A and B are shown apart, each in its own frame.
Chain A
Amino acid sequence: MADKKVLFKIKRQASPSAEPVWEEFELNWHPGMNVISSLMEIAANPQTKDGKTTAPVTYDSNCLEEVCGSCAMLINGRARMACSALIDKLEQPIRIEPLSKFPVVRDLAVDRSVLFENLKAVKAWVPVDGTYDLGSGPRQSMQNQEMTYPLSRCISCCCCMEVCPQFNEDTGFVGAAAISQVRLFNAHPTGAALKQDRLAALMGDGGIQECGYAQNCVEICPKDIPLTQSISQVAGDVMKQAITDLFRK
């Protein structure tokens, strides 16, 4: 028990253009370890399994309680949040790689700014008149809140995009997260003012039509967001909008 070890294989890449290499690390086991705490330990003693001094692993993290969305990576091949990946529940050696569909910055840190750009494109906001005092907001039923709140818990981790067969450079597909945000903002009494713009942004190449309903997204989402439900609802709205547009021409 005392000298139980945990073995890691980590894919390292010194820069966006460098060749990836694998390094092995061995840590002493202790209770409660997770992938981020292990990476912190490696930083405090940056040596590979065979005693070679190396650089601490670069990775993104912040909240360490699965709510900021920073630490998505591939752990034993599965896209997930590293802070909630408990070592005791993982098969060893634990293979850790960066997400594969986003440009690598260094080691496990990738550039996921594409999602933030997509959120801009679909106008994922409520167009308030201003921040001066305009009294209370529109009344909303408990039922509406119970529908929107889960959608609003998306942490922008991009796991749903990583596992989506349609999300790649060829399609330019916006991905499930942004589509689900369209549903969220269209459901808000004031947010609905931009509904047409949002639906228009999802038409054509890279839009909602790219989705093949493979459902990988909804299975991987760490926040259990009903993504396929969102996709079919928004797809229906896009279709209606397209038909309306057709008759307006």
Chain B
Amino acid sequence: MANTPKIIVVGGGLAGLAAVIKIAEMGGNVDLFSIVPVKRSHSVCAQGGINAAKNLKGEGDSTAQHLDDTIYGGDFLANQPPVKGMCDAAPGIIDLLDRMGVPFNRTPEGLLDFRRFGGTLHHRTAFAGATTGQQLLYALDEQVRRYEAEGKVKKYEHWEFLSAVLDSQHVCRGICAMDLRSMEVRTFPADAIIMATGGNGAIFGKSTNSVVCTGSAQSALYQQGAYYANGEFIQVHPTCIPGEDKLRLMSESARGEGGRVWVPKTPGDKRDPKSIPQNERWYFLEEWYPKYGNLVPRDVATRAIFKVVFEHNLGIDGKPMVYLDLTHIDRKTLDRKLEGILEIYEKFVGDDPRDTPMKIFPGMHYTMGGLWVDYNQQTNIPGIYAAGECEYQYHGANRLGANSLVSCIYGGFTAGPNAVRYAKNLQAAPSNGHFEAEKKRQEENNALLVSNQGDENPFRLWRELGELMTKNCTVIRYNKNLKETDAELVKLLERFRKVNLSDRTQWANTSVVFARQLYNMLQLSRVIAQGAGMRDESRGAHYKPDFPDRDDKNWLKTTKATFAPDADEPRFEFEPVDVSLIPPRPRKYDAAK
């Protein structure tokens, strides 16, 4: 094959940029595709930090401890060897980021500072103020810009991946993509491609994710024959600020400093919260969990809030919201300890949480499932690799805080070199006809959308999708509801055929782009709903009241969905989990591990 391997990386978040840097360093050539300029990728949103057992606090932390915390936190669903690889590599990754200039917080001696995070007893989280993700992304972005200036990387920003180009042997030979300005559809040849397209929060309408996190690219590949694994595992963060457009994260530290969660006892109570007397408020977490009160673990808090809102119908003003109240704490203390996060609330809600209880609600936060990959980060389609939140490998049934950033970088660092090695051994394609065929298929999709005469608006269909999925496929799951959800999804897919776009132009047409993404979201939603329906147990983020316990005998298995084109729906198979390093044990956070 060619001396200089040509690799396409799709996505310029942490995972994608990490892969690009490794490939360029190995002498490969990269075309980097991203919907948004890579510096504006969703990774900028991460606040808390990045985990690595550097043991700089004299606590006897070790990578073995990091491995155990991650596997335990993920309720033993992750294959263990790759997680070990990540935990072992993490300290070196932090060193590298430090060398690249990330302004990590320092100790007085000038060393890296570390903070505590959920799911561990150690100070293992390196951080750069309250914008760690932004700082890490910028560091990698700068290195990629350097390679770009040297001509080793070519960026295609404002381009969207539509599909892979597969040859007659089902080997990947490149991609088909669309220029989001000229709407031109084009194919690009490559020896291998790496998907790094992030999570799928948009399937749930509103989430803590960024706008472009639709999962559309993963879904497109699933529809082309890639396995999608553990789709039913979706992390919901208990305290988010409900917004008109998104759910912004409200850090756990608000409760750590004494914040209390409550709802009015009367449904639809319209009074100003401060005028509601104590005995007419329900501090449900404190009542249900007298020992831990408001500081129960994330999944427990989330489930409790859901129950109060959807089963007791006691959301504030009939809406899905509860109060997180800090007003009993004096302003000085609040400013000293929580100023940063209180400012976010002030800026986006317009109320001062020192005076008024915050309105919060759990929000979809992270996609544990994703494209199935092997230990080399390769999907089941030869030549297609995946890294970052779009694949399923590192977090099992529940991700620990600050473990995602490290998994993205480690995944990218693994995928990049493996793709180069694969490319060097690749045989030439049997023919080139597949490029033209794929392009035609995608152009026809677009043409159909632009000319379609119906009465459905894609943005409104999306709202319905989000409400449906949030209601039935997040925190508390019942088989009956999951079945109905899948039936509703089929109806939404039918209605999708009747979309009518009010924009029929051929320039920067966001309606066409969004409609395409919506279709892929609908297809992927069925994987989530059906996968959740099958798994009759509770594990990590997946909770069924009718099957409240973890069932290792039947379900210590990875869910793998494949698309059946004829039936236009998913098929499922299950793969045993590699638990060769740590034998499964019950996961309980009500006592020390």
Contacts and interface: CB of A to CB of B under 8 A. Distances in A.
Interface of A: 14-15, 30, 32-34, 36-37, 40, 43-46, 53-56, 58, 60-70, 83-84, 86, 88-89, 105-107, 109, 113, 116, 119-120, 123-128, 130-131, 133-142, 144-145, 148-149, 152-153, 155-156, 185, 188, 190-191
A88 to B, nearest CB: 6
B146 A127 contact: yes
Contacts of A141: 106, 110
A83 to B, nearest CB: 7
Interface stretch (B116-124, B127-135, B331-339, B583-591): B127-135
A221 to B, nearest CB: 15
Given A106-B508, A126-B101, A55 B244 contact: no
A149 B502 contact: no
A64 B42 CA distance: 10
Contact of B44 (A36, A67, A105, A185): A67
B563 interface: no
A116 B25 contact: no
Contacts of A116: 37, 39, 145
Given A37-B243, A127-B146, A185 B110 contact: no
Interface string B88-119: 00001001101111011111111110000000
B542 interface: no
Given A32-B244, A45-B457, 8 more contacts: A65-B248, A69-B40, A125-B146, A126-B101, A140-B110, A142-B106, A153-B131, A190-B99
A78 B451 CA distance: 38
Contact of B36 (A65, A70, A137): A70
A142 B109 CA distance: 8
Given A55-B502, A153-B134, A125 B142 contact: yes
30 contacts: A56-B459, A56-B502, A56-B503, A62-B41, A62-B211, A62-B212, A63-B211, A64-B211, A64-B243, A65-B248, A65-B348, A67-B134, A68-B42, A69-B39, A70-B36, A106-B507, A113-B157, A116-B145, A120-B149, A125-B145, A128-B100, A137-B98, A137-B99, A141-B110, A142-B106, A149-B103, A149-B128, A152-B128, A153-B134, A185-B101
A152 B104 CA distance: 11
Max chain A Cβ within 10 angstroms of own Cβ: one of B106, B245, B344, B347:
B245
B244 A105 contact: no
B184 to A, nearest CB: 14
B460 interface: yes
B432 interface: no
A34 B244 CA distance: 8
B145 A32 contact: no
A227 to B, nearest CB: 17
B335 to A, nearest CB: 17
A56 B511 contact: yes
Contacts, number: 195
Contacts of B161: none
Contacts of B246: 64-65
A173 to B, nearest CB: 21
Contacts of B111: 139
Nearest to A104: B508
Interface size for chain B: under 10, 10 to 19, 20 to 34, or 35 or more residues?
Answer: 35 or more
Interface in B236-272: 242-246, 248
B551 interface: no
B549 interface: no
Given A37-B243, A141-B106, A185-B101, A15 B507 contact: yes
B162 to A, nearest CB: 19
Given A37-B245, A188-B101, A67 B145 contact: no
Nearest to B513: A58
B42 to A, nearest CB: 7
Nearest to A149: B103
A140 B110 CA distance: 5
B243 A142 contact: no
Contact of B459 (A40, A54, A68, A89): A40
Nearest to B109: A139
B413 interface: yes
A53 B22 CA distance: 49
A83 B106 contact: no
Contacts of B457: 44-46
B510 interface: yes
B505 interface: yes
A140 to B, nearest CB: 6
B105 A145 contact: yes
Nearest to A46: B502
Interface in B165-224: 181, 210-212
A17 B10 CA distance: 31
A131 B134 contact: no
B143 interface: yes
A131 B25 contact: yes
A63 B44 contact: yes
